[in-house]
């Protein structure tokens, strides 16, 4: 049985700088060992002979900007004008060409001090800057490009799958994540993310047809870790259901909704919500008698205090059920939105203080409403409350009760309340 690899070992690097027509394996190994290894995914780094050349100094600087585009451009090179625009932009510099010469000169000196073999690292030919042929480059983004192209062209399904999986693992995060405000970086980052998406989806499709849920689970977890908030939890959940691990699938359902809505203040996409609900319907339970089923549905009596705090999918289900019951019940239902605001009445959007206040507000709401009412932490600093069989006047009483439980002596923040009546309209 083939052992699954978390991080693939790529043996067929496309090494820029190796001369065509040289087939001597020893020479190839020598080139690879003495190559400048360049990391673009998830952050920038340059490694030579196993040592990082940048260390902790990989932040924003003219040297870093130049090396990033120069090493990424490889044999294509980068025009003098484009490089000057990247390095100096709209800065008022009297002699841009002279400034460019200074940057290149200083970069060469810095590269030599870093321990690279002494050579003309950066050359200018016909108006374009190029990285030297003397020091080959092994770039993670170039390896990813090659694996992706091979996977797209491959007809054998086994090899196609292996290439897609290897490409997925080669993608270690967003391309130059710190510099996404730069146009060329943003363009490349978008291209690589799209390719990563294709790799994941097509690998998942092959695994789905083969019912290889073990590898599908690993793929989903890796994709989620590398590209959070991209709906990859769907793949993991589908795999768990396929493996019959229904409890884990249900837990992932709830955990994902909580992460999207509570931790980041983001709404899951329509696709993710539909997938979560569809997969939830696929969960099969063991044959049981009604008493046992009811027992599993019962809530711990110790937790039946105050409002019912639940994830958004659950809250959504309760809302829709209550809405349907209004047809015959005739009860009055109100939806309340509670938003934490600053001293000026503006919604608070981020910060450690907001996290602390949001937690306190949730406790205050749950202790201020009936245990038959539902509450959901909708986002950072916001809660939804579903109030059943209540008047609008009593909604104001509820808000005052929440304030009483939430506000402290000199607290400058407050809560903004928005209340809508839920009106039943026959289908």
For residues 105 and 58, give the distance between their C-alpha atoms in angstroms, rounded to a whole number: 19
Contact indicator for 354, 380 with CB cutoff of 8 Å: yes
- Specify the DSSP element, H or E, that contains 109: helix 96-113
For residue 131, the cross-strand partners are: 122
Q: Answer positive or negative: Cα dihedral of 202, 206, 211, 212.
A: negative
As a whole number, the mean pLDDT across the chain is 81
**Can you tell me the mean pLDDT for 18-45?**
63
- The tally of CA atoms less than 13 A away on the side-chain side of residue 24 is 7
pLDDT over threshold 70, residue 123? yes
Angle between helices 140-153 and 157-170 (to 10 degrees): 160
At 13, the pLDDT band (50, 70, 90 cuts) reads very low
pLDDT over threshold 60, residue 31? no
Q: What is the pLDDT of residue 231?
A: 85
Query: For residues 345 and 22, which has the higher predicted lDDT (pLDDT)?
Result: 345
Q: In what order do the strands lie in the sheet with 36-39?
A: 51-52, 45-48, 36-39, 137-139
Summarize pLDDT for 218-266 with one digit per residue, the tens.
Answer: 999 999 999 988 889 889 988 988 888 877 887 787 788 777 766 666 6
For residues 359 and 48, give the distance between their C-alpha atoms in angstroms, rounded to a whole number: 48
User: DSSP labels for 194-239?
Assistant: HHHHHHHHHHHHHHHHHT-HHHHHHHHHHHHHHSTTSSTHHHHHHH
For residues 420 and 333, give the distance between their C-alpha atoms in angstroms, rounded to a whole number: 9
Task: Name the 3-class secondary structure at 274.
Answer: helix
> What is the DSSP code (8-state) at residue 41?
B
pLDDT over threshold 90, residue 425? no
> Among all chains, which residue has been given the structure tokens 């206040």?
357
User: Where do the DSSP E strands lie in 355-412?
Assistant: 374-379, 382-388
| 49-85 burial: b if 16+ Cβ within 10 Å, else e | eeeebbeeebeeebbbbbbbbbbbbbeebbebeebbe
For residues 175 and 187, give the distance between their C-alpha atoms in angstroms, rounded to a whole number: 10
User: DSSP labels for 21-40?
Assistant: T---HHHHHHHHHTSEEEE-
pLDDT over threshold 70, residue 78? yes
Query: For residues 276 and 197, which has the higher predicted lDDT (pLDDT)?
Result: 197
At 86, the pLDDT band (50, 70, 90 cuts) reads confident
For residues 216 and 200, give the distance between their C-alpha atoms in angstroms, rounded to a whole number: 10
- What are the residue boundaries of the structural domains of the chain, listed by start? 1-208, 228-298, 306-422
pLDDT over threshold 80, residue 299? no
pLDDT over threshold 80, residue 330? no
For residue 371, the cross-strand partners are: none
Residue 265 neighbours by CB under 8 Å, 6+ apart: 349, 379, 380, 381, 382
Q: What is the pLDDT of residue 24?
A: 45
For residues 73 and 197, give the distance between their C-alpha atoms in angstroms, rounded to a whole number: 23
**Can you tell me the mean pLDDT for 184-188?**
92
At 188, the pLDDT band (50, 70, 90 cuts) reads very high
Contact indicator for 161, 207 with CB cutoff of 8 Å: yes
Tell me the backbone φ, ψ of residue 405, rounded to 5 degrees.
-85, -15
Percent of the chain with pLDDT over 90: 35
Query: For residues 96 and 142, which has the higher predicted lDDT (pLDDT)?
Result: 142
Summarize pLDDT for 34-57 with one digit per residue, the tens.
Answer: 789 999 998 899 999 888 888 765
Q: Which CATH architecture has domain 1-208?
A: Orthogonal Bundle (1.10)
**Can you tell me the mean pLDDT for 130-146?**
92
For residue 374, the cross-strand partners are: 308, 386
Summarize pLDDT for 351-386 with one digit per residue, the tens.
Answer: 778 888 888 999 999 999 988 899 988 877 889 999
Residue 352 burial (CB count, 10 A) = 7
Enter the CATH code of domain 306-422: 3.30.70.270
Q: What is the pLDDT of residue 27?
A: 41
Percent of the chain with pLDDT over 70: 79
Question: pTM for the whole thing?
Answer: 0.66
Q: What is the pLDDT of residue 355?
A: 83
**Can you tell me the mean pLDDT for 60-83?**
87
Summarize pLDDT for 405-421 with one digit per residue, the tens.
Answer: 998 877 788 999 999 99
pLDDT over threshold 80, residue 309? yes
For residues 260 and 258, give the distance between their C-alpha atoms in angstroms, rounded to a whole number: 6
Summarize pLDDT for 207-226 with one digit per residue, the tens.
Answer: 999 999 999 999 999 999 99
pLDDT over threshold 60, residue 138? yes
- Of the listed ranges 15-29, 66-80, 175-189, the one predicted with least confidence: 15-29
For residues 192 and 144, give the distance between their C-alpha atoms in angstroms, rounded to a whole number: 9
Contact indicator for 369, 385 with CB cutoff of 8 Å: yes
Contact indicator for 402, 306 with CB cutoff of 8 Å: no
pLDDT over threshold 80, residue 287? no
Task: Name the 3-class secondary structure at 46.
Answer: strand
Torsion of CA 18, 23, 29, 30, to 10 degrees: -60
Question: Is residue 408 exposed (0-12), middle (13-18) or buried (19+ Cβ within 10 Å)?
Answer: exposed
């Amino acid at each position: 049985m083939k052992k699954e690899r978390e991080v693939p070992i790529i043996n067929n690097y496309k090494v820029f700088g190796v001369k065509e027509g040289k087939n001597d394996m020893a020479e190839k190994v020598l080139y690879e060992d003495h190559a400048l290894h360049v990391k673009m995914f998830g952050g920038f780094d340059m490694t030579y002979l196993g040592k990082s050349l940048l260390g902790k100094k990989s932040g924003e600087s003219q040297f870093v900007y130049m090396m990033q585009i120069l090493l990424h451009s490889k044999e294509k090179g980068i025009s003098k004008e484009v490089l000057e625009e990247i390095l100096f932009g709209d800065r008022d510099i009297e002699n841009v060409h002279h400034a460019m010469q200074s940057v290149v000169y200083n970069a060469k000196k810095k590269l030599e001090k870093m321990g690279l073999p002494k050579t003309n690292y950066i050359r200018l030919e016909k108006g374009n800057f190029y990285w030297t042929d003397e020091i080959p480059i092994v770039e993670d983004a170039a390896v990813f490009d090659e694996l992706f192209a091979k996977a797209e062209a491959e007809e054998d399904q086994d090899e196609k799958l292996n290439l897609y999986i290897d490409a997925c693992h080669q993608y270690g995060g967003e391309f130059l994540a710190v510099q996404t405000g730069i146009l060329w970086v943003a363009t490349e980052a978008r291209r690589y993310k799209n390719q990563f998406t294709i790799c994941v989806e097509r690998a998942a499709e092959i695994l789905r047809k083969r019912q290889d849920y073990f590898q599908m689970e690993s793929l989903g977890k890796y994709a989620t870790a590398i590209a959070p908030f991209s709906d990859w939890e769907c793949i993991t959940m589908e795999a768990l259901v396929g493996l019959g691990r229904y409890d884990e699938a249900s837990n992932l359902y709830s955990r994902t909704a909580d992460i999207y809505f509570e931790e980041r203040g983001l709404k899951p996409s329509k696709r993710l919500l539909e997938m979560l609900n569809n997969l939830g319907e696929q969960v099969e339970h063991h044959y049981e008698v009604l008493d046992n089923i009811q027992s599993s549905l019962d809530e711990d009596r110790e937790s039946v205090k105050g409002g019912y705090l639940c994830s958004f999918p659950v809250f959504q289900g309760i809302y829709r059920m209550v809405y349907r019951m209004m047809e015959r019940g005739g009860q009055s239902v109100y939806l309340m939105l509670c938003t934490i605001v600053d001293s000026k009445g503006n919604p608070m959007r981020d910060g450690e203080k907001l996290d602390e206040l949001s937690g306190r507000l949730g406790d205050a709401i749950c202790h201020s409403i009936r245990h038959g009412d539902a509450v959901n932490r909708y986002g950072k600093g916001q809660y939804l409350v579903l109030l059943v069989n209540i008047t609008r006047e009593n909604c104001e009483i509820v808000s005052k009760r929440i304030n009483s439980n939430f506000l402290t002596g000199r607290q400058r923040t407050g809560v903004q309340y928005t209340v809508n009546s839920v009106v039943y309209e026959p289908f």
